A and B are shown apart, each in its own frame.
Chain A
């Protein structure tokens, strides 16, 4: 008797297939992620559109709406960028100016790697 496909296979046997189970688990993960993203998007819209009426954001004669969530997202992004920028600048200035950091300069590094290679192979 040849392979009959899923039409002759009870659904629970398909489920017991490990790959099928994993696919189901991934669908569950995806739904879980989509669910939390949907909740967050709903909260954003609720706070910025439903609660904050356009009249609340009239500024300088222009109706901008309150849009506090947009400002919060921008502050969050800017704060993260700022921390990373400062860290990157500190590391780069340290590399440019500090002698101990310049110990990793290409010429020094080359000789160190060469010595290590010789040690490992002798």
Chain B
């Protein structure tokens, strides 16, 4: 396929988003995309970190450019379809706002991660100088590791062989952060080891409400799916540790690598790894 630039070439690697827009916005038609939880699909999983990085480079860049295309065109394209006003002006706009929020969150992930990492360590004891120094050192290590990931990403596909070490550091930080957040929630904010919860405190009450919303929502969703897909729910629990382990890699190492290789529009896996997809962009 001839593409006018690297944006368009990347965009067509995420064909599912473009196809979804094409189906929903079919002129003079009223097609919907339905949720089908019992749909079957076969996949060829990536078995190494290197392959996963190449696959993620394709997914991250393509979904970014496909989202930008869809966000720019959905309003005009949808007006050509026969969808009703509510679908076109309310439901579709809400979906796009949610997608835009996810996009903004992923764009600012390094800043949010940096701050949460620093603040969760620092607030263990604000009066203890040693803890304040540790918080600064850990935050500095995070910045250095992220800059290494960027520098490695700019060096091209050679970096994928060594990037696993960076992902390991991020995995360690993720597990440490999980422990620290749990400690902060129960000991620092809710003060369960001291005098207990103060029901007049806005911070404590908002944290309690958020814990309740997250836990009740999560378990309600799990219970709902357990009735219809018990095997998948069991797999979800079994894979939780590896999912957490790879969170740092998904959100940081692979995003940095993908962003540094926007010009590579090859498929990246299954033998199709030609530099730049056979064309320089």
Q: Are A71 and B116 in contact (CB under 8 A)?
A: no
- Distance (Å) between the CB of A62 and the closest chain B CB? 5
B-to-A contact residues, CB < 8 Å:
6, 34-40, 98, 101-102, 105, 107-108, 110-112, 114-116, 118-120, 122-123, 126-127, 150, 154, 188-189, 191, 194-198, 201, 203-204, 206-207, 210, 213-214, 217-218, 220-221, 224-225, 227-228, 259-263, 276, 280-281
Q: Which B-chain residue is minimally distant from A101 (CB atoms)? A: B34
Complex interface: chain A residues within 8 A of B221 (CB): 85, 88-89, 92
Complex interface: chain A residues within 8 A of B224 (CB): 89, 92-93
Within 8 A of B (CB), among A47-87: 48-49, 54, 57, 59-65, 67, 69-71, 73-75, 78, 80-86
> Do A61 and B280 form a contact, CB below 8 Å, given A78-B213, A96-B228?
no
A-to-B contact residues, CB < 8 Å:
18-19, 22-23, 26-27, 29-30, 33-34, 36-38, 40-41, 44-45, 48-49, 54, 57, 59-65, 67, 69-71, 73-75, 78, 80-86, 88-89, 91-96, 101, 104-106, 109
Among B37, B111, B116, B227, the most chain A Cβ lie within 10 Å of the Cβ of B111
User: Which 7 residue pairs of A and B lie closest in terms of their CB atoms, listed nearest first?
Assistant: A37-B111, A40-B111, A85-B217, A60-B198, A44-B115, A91-B35, A41-B111
Q: Are B203 and A71 in contact (CB under 8 A)?
A: yes
The CA-CA distance from A61 to B217 in the complex, in Å, is 32
Complex interface: chain A residues within 8 A of B110 (CB): 34, 37, 41
